[in-house]
Structure 1
Amino acid sequence: MKLCIESDGGSRGNPGIAGSGTVIYDGARQKILKEMSYVVGKATNNVAEYHSVINGLRAAKEMGATEVEVYMDSKLVVEQMSGRWKIKHPDMAALAKEAQALVREIGQVSFQWIPRKDNARADALANLAMDALADGAKPGFLGEAPERAAAGNASVEDAAQPVRSPSHWAGHKEEPLRFFLIRHGETEFSTQLRYSGWGDPELTEKGRTQAKRSATRLAEILDGHEVAAIFSSPLSRAKETAQIIQAELGEVQLKEAEALKELNFGTWEGLTFAQARQQDPTLHEAWVDNPADNAPPEGESIRELYQRVRTWRNGLNRHYSGNTLVVVSHVNVIKALVCQALGAGPGSVNRFFLDPAGISEIEFYPPSAGACVRRVNETGHLQGV
């Protein structure tokens, strides 16, 4: 079986905070089979590059590959693994030896250099790992489940206890920072399928009804559990939705956060998909294919939004660790938060759908303990609206 690998590594400091990203494709290099984001630790860029290759080759071998094509933007690693350049650095020599052993076990492996722009997905995964290390994560793969105690060690009494939170089965002692994420209700722009970013359309009457339904459902889920604060985007459609939720929950402080504004669509604001494509077909196609690294004219990329949302979330740890927060925002902001909880990069935001007034729930434990997604886009309460 033939597989293709795209891999990349990076270091902020060289040596410094290092991470690697690896994407496994089918033999036609069309279908993604696996993505890996690996926290290397303190290392050089080249060491991180080797980790990305080793992780990819090991995964390909485990998947049964007998032929592999490796694509990288590191000329050094490509030339060294192809046998054309000597390996002098002892750290890289040890890693190269490990990679070469995997090459022999697989059978047929080739290495090909590609421009950085063609390696964006692996680069995003490497940056995700470096971000996680900066946040306190330990070396290893992101998104792996924590080790659990053997089932035989659990008593009958333990088994009979209700499990209300993943902290029970994952062994977390600290309470998580829990987010309930609510997308604002319907607007005229959402019904007309227009790009709606920093513009300020108001809720429709249907949107207000949706917000009230979400407020009622959220109160049911919380069941009296205390909410430390409600955070809202300053844009009208989100703010009005948040005010409706605040009225339902009672004495909860409502705060606005600029970081929760929707993606800035620049000159595409208010345009339909077809109108934006007509304005600049080449750029629009690039945006649709890779919104993480392409931006609308005078707008921002998904990666830029992802980073501002991450920075805002990290800033909450000091004052709200162990608390429950309600966040009322927009589709791309909520997707970014869910992706961060999943350990997925900004390139994953287009892989799931969020309805107006849908409810999602995520938890973040202390950095080394990871995160948990509890629900995504719950919409049962909106039936009949």
Structure 2
Amino acid sequence: MRESGVREFVVEADGGSRGNPGPAGYGAVVRDAATGQALSEAAEYLGVATNNVAEYRGLLAGLRAARALDPGATVHVRMDSKLVVEQMTGRWKIKHPDLKPLAAEAARVLPPERVTYEWIPRERNKHADRLANEAMDAGARGEQWSASASTAELEAPAGGSTAEPEAPAAGPTAGPTARPDALAAAREAADVRAARTEADVRPARTEADVRPARTAAADVQAARAEADVRAARTVATPGWAPADLGAPATLVLLRHGETPLTPQKRFSGSGGTDPSLSAVGREQAEKAAVALARRGTIQAVVSSPLARTRETAAVVAARLGLDVTVDDGLRETDFGAWEGLTFAEVRERHPDDLDAWLASADAAPTGGGESFAETATRIAATRDKLVAAHAGRTVLLVTHVTPIKTFVRLALGAPPESLFRMELSAASLSVVAYYADGNASVRLLNDTSHLR
């Protein structure tokens, strides 16, 4: 008890989605903090939703159940979702429009000063996880979850908050509610990384800023789990991004095939002639189509409006059995009076303008062209729109040199001059993944292995 006569509850909550977005459900259990006795359960099938939405719905249900038991109680929330815990404590910003109202609603259930949050590894959140899976199973049968299957949990303590966590099973969880082993391993790895001390993640913060809720046993367990996952997992989340953020929006960036201007290295933007693919370019598009069909991950195709990109996109989309959507934001930079010229010809005719362009992203090509800064603003807006429209999906963008380099530069947080330090071949593939917390992971750059 924090205060004499004030009850303290522990809320354990979880949510899941089989598809992300897909059939989703949540589970929550309220325990007596002193005894570990499970006092109340809640679970619900949500229909189609994302993992993060389901996790927030689980949090809401747990907080409401605790309030129903005792409106004056204090509550300690324990979840294996790093995203929800960090956002509800205010350490991470909430950017996704679907999560903002849920977080605001959760903050209103009880006075914020009476609620604390703690991240826990998945194996210490099995009760809520099971309830969420029961709810999803019920939904698959066309039913809603009922508490009858879980009443045994309420008859005896399931292990208080200070109990040693149950050792993880040696093999995959049995039964129809089990998550795929590889996905569970990836999420476990991300959760363990998130459980390291704040000094490992945010060196500028002091230990006094960190809620001292983890026990020494939990830290040892997390360290052991991390070692086990590194040795045994079969899939890996690229970079550092937590798996519990859900599937990212993955943009596969395909530069168009060669045009007659490509081998001559002439400026070819959106402000001059609009060349079509050469015979070599059409062959490159076919090879890219074969490679992308073999991967089998593309769910949509979006193209720049220019002829060379639309031709490339049409070849690939035909192979994939998809339609092509045209987005003007993916067009190449307008190179003004430099269109059709080589670099040497521009140096000869417009030396001062070229020097200024090379020195500053704000400088535009001669004759009212588009600066790299203007291109970056356009690409950032296009990126945000596409990521929001294709959350959790893999989308092929058929575009040009400058837009692709800009996507990569922005993802890396690199300076504008990095545009001159990237090689990008015709019909090459690059990949950037965007996560729910606003971070990005560059997975591939200038892959031309399919052209050999």
Residue of structure 2 in register with 1:377 after alignment: 446
Determine whether 1:232 maps to 2:306. no
Residue of structure 1 in register with 2:398 after alignment: 328
Q: 1:303 and 1:134 mapped to 2: Cα distance?
A: 27
Cα-to-partner distance string for 1:97-141 (whole Å, 9 max, x where unaligned): xxxxxxxxxxxxxxxxxxxxxxxxxxxxxxxxxxxx9978xxxxx
Closer/same/farther in 2, CA of residues 189 and 153 from structure 1, 3 Å limit: same
Residue of structure 2 in register with 1:176 after alignment: 248
Closer/same/farther in 2, CA of residues 134 and 315 from structure 1, 3 Å limit: farther
Q: 1:318 and 1:268 mapped to 2: Cα distance?
A: 35
Q: 1:356 and 1:342 mapped to 2: Cα distance?
A: 22
Q: 1:235 and 1:267 mapped to 2: Cα distance?
A: 18
Q: How does 1:75-94 map to 2 (within 5 A)?
A: none
Give, in angstroms, the shift of residue 307 of structure 1.
Answer: 0.7
Closer/same/farther in 2, CA of residues 158 and 286 from structure 1, 3 Å limit: closer
1:230 and 1:254 in contact (8 A); partners too: yes
Cα-to-partner distance string for 1:255-312 (whole Å, 9 max, x where unaligned): 111111101000110011122122221111221233x121102101111101101101
Greater mean alpha carbon deviation, residues 341-350 or residues 257-266: 341-350
Q: 2:364 aligns with which of 287, 295, 301?
A: 295
Give, in angstroms, the shift of residue 159 of structure 1.
Answer: 3.5
Q: 1:266 and 1:352 mapped to 2: Cα distance?
A: 22
Greater mean alpha carbon deviation, residues 263-272 or residues 346-355: 346-355
Q: 2:313 aligns with which of 233, 236, 242?
A: 242
1:228 and 1:253 in contact (8 A); partners too: no
Give, in angstroms, the shift of residue 319 of structure 1.
Answer: 2.3
Structure 1: give runs of 5+ residues left out of the alignment: 1-132, 137-144
Closer/same/farther in 2, CA of residues 235 and 278 from structure 1, 3 Å limit: same
Give, in angstroms, the shift of residue 154 of structure 1.
Answer: 2.3
Closer/same/farther in 2, CA of residues 342 and 172 from structure 1, 3 Å limit: farther
Give, in angstroms, the shift of residue 155 of structure 1.
Answer: 5.8
Q: 1:365 aligns with which of 430, 435, 441?
A: 435
Q: Given residue 161 of structure 1, which amino acid in structure 2 is its aligned partner?
A: R
Give, in angstroms, the shift of residue 347 of structure 1.
Answer: 3.2
Cα-to-partner distance string for 1:186-241 (whole Å, 9 max, x where unaligned): 11111111100013011110011111111111222x3x33x332110111111100
2:266 and 2:343 in contact (8 A); partners too: yes
2:387 and 2:434 in contact (8 A); partners too: no
Q: 1:317 aligns with which of 382, 387, 393?
A: 387
Q: 1:193 aligns with which of 232, 246, 265?
A: 265
Determine whether 1:203 maps to 2:272. no
Q: 1:357 and 1:241 mapped to 2: Cα distance?
A: 9
2:237 and 2:243 in contact (8 A); partners too: no
Q: Given residue 153 of structure 1, which amino acid in structure 2 is its aligned partner?
A: A
More strand by share: 1
Structure possessing the higher radius of gyration over alpha carbons:
2
Q: 1:166 and 1:346 mapped to 2: Cα distance?
A: 25
TM-score (norm: length of structure 1): 0.57
Closer/same/farther in 2, CA of residues 286 and 327 from structure 1, 3 Å limit: same
Greater mean alpha carbon deviation, residues 256-265 or residues 159-168: 159-168
Aligned length: 237
1:228 and 1:320 in contact (8 A); partners too: no
Q: How does 1:275-286 map to 2 (within 5 A)?
A: 275-286=345-356
Q: Given residue 196 of structure 1, which amino acid in structure 2 is its aligned partner?
A: S
Greater mean alpha carbon deviation, residues 172-181 or residues 303-312: 172-181
Q: How does 1:135-150 map to 2 (within 5 A)?
A: 148-149=194-195
Give, in angstroms, the shift of residue 316 of structure 1.
Answer: 2.2
SS of residue in 1 equivalent to 2:224: helix
